[in-house]
Structure 1
């Protein structure tokens, strides 16, 4: 049992180390599972071909639809500029007539935009790309050092996607489907916890920004910023129009308890109907569809590899003795 526990620890360390080095999860997950099998005295062939692959397959059967439709929905908002339009609208509302922004207001705008888009069904991966231009522009105006941009984006995504009930993000959907509860289970304590996390994140980032700025650090432009900043674009869809598919997804999923996959399908259809002009051409639309499918396959297979690793761990003597 002790040797089995050592194998689990070695397998986890092996998995984390090589993933951080950029190795593909499908390869490293299988290798880590076989390390655990060897240390635990399991039949390596059976552990890999039966236990590990069953874990991978079960995960894909249950979860790949949400990865697929979530990626397509997010791609629709990315390529049409719908997400950018909403983010800019929120920025304008909170900015008002002020030409300059305080660090606190800039951080709050980033978090509110991220929460809205995340609750609307835009996947976290797409959200990272959408939020970068907005966050960069707000940091430029408020003077927040550019190296704080990743932390601000991660904070706003994690707050809504991982901490608050009712979100159609894969993290919430997987958890609710596994334990058999609704998306709004423990809504009151979940929302309270989410608000606490939100406030603490905002306060800490504001404290960190002021601390860095007191040292003389300021936002500095670098080559290539002109292409990535949050610039004015008259061709963006109306923010209220862009909001409608998100509202539909949220209402269907949380209000009418429609399966999240069908909620996202309905949102995709409405997004295409309302913002079809922003796809520019059928070829562009098909390319974005293909990109979304590829992204969904890569992400879901990587997550499935981790699930397969967990399946092997679950049949070890060390796990049984816990």
Structure 2
């Protein structure tokens, strides 16, 4: 009965969230279903297990959600994201329209700009380029997805994405875990995705298929305006990224764009400071005080990764504000909008984590644990399977990965220690694994992107699958094979 209760609770959560109900309401109800059917104390699991895990996630990762959303909003209101997309369009031109869209998305997201901020700027850019190049509009979502939520989210070393930060406290790693494997995975994802998109564009050209709908400009502009206030979109998007789309049009947007150098500089600061903090400064700082009870009796490895990203984003925000003080017309309003944009996502993902904690606390979950850990292929294959499944079911890479690591992270770390495996390898496999099947049709980022592009699942989802899922699965297999043969590098 306990296993049936877990399936009932999970089915209730997935079905109702797909229908637009708030995750904040659904997760505690789903947790109660699990507890009741397992004969466990219902209210105790709600207030102690559920809230304890959700609160722990907020305490651990809210700084990243908060600062990341503020940074994204500052980049948007200063005109920096728009200038970067303009520069990419000008330099690569319509003859390389697909490449321009992919690289523009990759540059801004690897530099720390939130996914939905990138969407709302890059979609109009892609629409103009694809229309001028007469490339089918149905390929736009896949091109934007390839650049924004594949390799820059899960594989590129040092990416400040929240998904890359989640494994760090579990495995004592840094944002640059397994950099060589991460670069190889990025190349695989990018190359496979570009091959598919260019192949699809060439096939469409031979078939005489052009851009498509003549009313696409009006559709895109209308979608951009409506999505910001669409309650269903907000609910689905809230578990996909650290930025609430509702805040995209609040704040005060600059009427003047910065120079290209000034637009790119904050992104470079994020990457550089993140690397220096992770590899140079923190390893040399005396942090023995963290072992005291006052600081939780922890080690530097459990917080160093999060600290590195925090300092990197704060440094970039400082540079951005100083360099754009005349363009940020109402700094207080922009910062407030960014801060507000982080609240719904952090609470939504934390609620998923709370639900996962209740599931893991059920007596029958030990059977699930035994099954997962017994999967043939070793801990890397087992970890990849567990993160994939949970990310797919929740439609959230961050939520699915946290649930998996909360329940099984210590077991994976123990197995890795027993076979002398570098935890950095676990880190990279977990992040790439969570960033594959999370892009199923119900994923909030996928739904939002299709709507913004004026497309549908039937028109564009196959190309999203090939560019954003199959490529990531191939990269995950490559990393597991190389990691098994040569270890972490």
TM-score, normalised to structure 2's length?
0.60
2:104 paired with 1:113: yes
Q: Give the 5 Å matches for 1:25-40.
A: 25-40=23-38
Match of 1:267 in 2: 316
State whether residues 145 and 220 of structure 1, in contact with CA within 8 Å, keep that contact through their aligned partners in structure 2. Answer: no
For 2:175 and 2:328, the matched residues in 1 are separated by 32
Show structure 1 runs of 5+ residues with no match.
Answer: none
State whether residues 124 and 220 of structure 2, in contact with CA within 8 Å, keep that contact through their aligned partners in structure 1. Answer: no
State whether residues 84 and 263 of structure 2, in contact with CA within 8 Å, keep that contact through their aligned partners in structure 1. Answer: yes
State whether residues 75 and 289 of structure 1, in contact with CA within 8 Å, keep that contact through their aligned partners in structure 2. Answer: yes
Match of 2:268 in 1: 247
State whether residues 112 and 270 of structure 2, in contact with CA within 8 Å, keep that contact through their aligned partners in structure 1. Answer: yes
Deviations 1:251-273 (A, max 9, x none): 11123326211211111111011
For 1:82 and 1:225, the matched residues in 2 are separated by 25
Deviations 1:169-222 (A, max 9, x none): 111111223321011111111110111011111111222333344252424342
State whether residues 53 and 353 of structure 2, in contact with CA within 8 Å, keep that contact through their aligned partners in structure 1. Answer: yes
Q: Secondary structure at the match of 2:177?
A: coil
State whether residues 163 and 193 of structure 1, in contact with CA within 8 Å, keep that contact through their aligned partners in structure 2. Answer: yes
For 2:132 and 2:322, the matched residues in 1 are separated by 36
Match of 1:289 in 2: 335
2:109 paired with 1:89: no
- Greater relative CO (CA pairs within 8 A, separation 6+): 1
Q: Give the 5 Å matches for 1:183-222.
A: 183-213=175-205, 214=207, 216-222=209-215
State the Cα distance separating 1:126 from its structure 2 match. Answer: 1.2
Match of 2:257 in 1: 236
Match of 2:63 in 1: 65
Match of 1:164 in 2: 156
Shifted more, 26-35 versus 142-151: the winner is 142-151
State the Cα distance separating 1:134 from its structure 2 match. Answer: 1.5
Match of 1:151 in 2: 142
Change (3 A) 1:178 1:215: farther
State whether residues 120 and 247 of structure 1, in contact with CA within 8 Å, keep that contact through their aligned partners in structure 2. Answer: yes
Match of 1:130 in 2: 121
For 1:40 and 1:192, the matched residues in 2 are separated by 44
TM-score, normalised to structure 1's length?
0.89
Shifted more, 253-262 versus 188-197: the winner is 253-262
State whether residues 9 and 34 of structure 2, in contact with CA within 8 Å, keep that contact through their aligned partners in structure 1. Answer: yes
Q: Secondary structure at the match of 1:256?
A: helix
State whether residues 153 and 161 of structure 2, in contact with CA within 8 Å, keep that contact through their aligned partners in structure 1. Answer: yes
Deviations 1:96-150 (A, max 9, x none): xxxx42xxx2221111111111111111121111211221111112212223322
State whether residues 145 and 218 of structure 1, in contact with CA within 8 Å, keep that contact through their aligned partners in structure 2. Answer: yes
Match of 1:256 in 2: 277
For 1:152 and 1:180, the matched residues in 2 are separated by 34
Change (3 A) 1:207 1:270: same
State the Cα distance separating 1:30 from its structure 2 match. Answer: 0.9
Q: Secondary structure at the match of 1:259?
A: helix
Match of 1:55 in 2: 53
For 1:177 and 1:110, the matched residues in 2 are separated by 34
For 1:153 and 1:188, the matched residues in 2 are separated by 25
Change (3 A) 1:189 1:136: same
Match of 2:42 in 1: 44
State whether residues 124 and 161 of structure 1, in contact with CA within 8 Å, keep that contact through their aligned partners in structure 2. Answer: no
For 1:248 and 1:168, the matched residues in 2 are separated by 12
State the Cα distance separating 1:20 from its structure 2 match. Answer: 1.7
Give the total of aligned pairs.
307
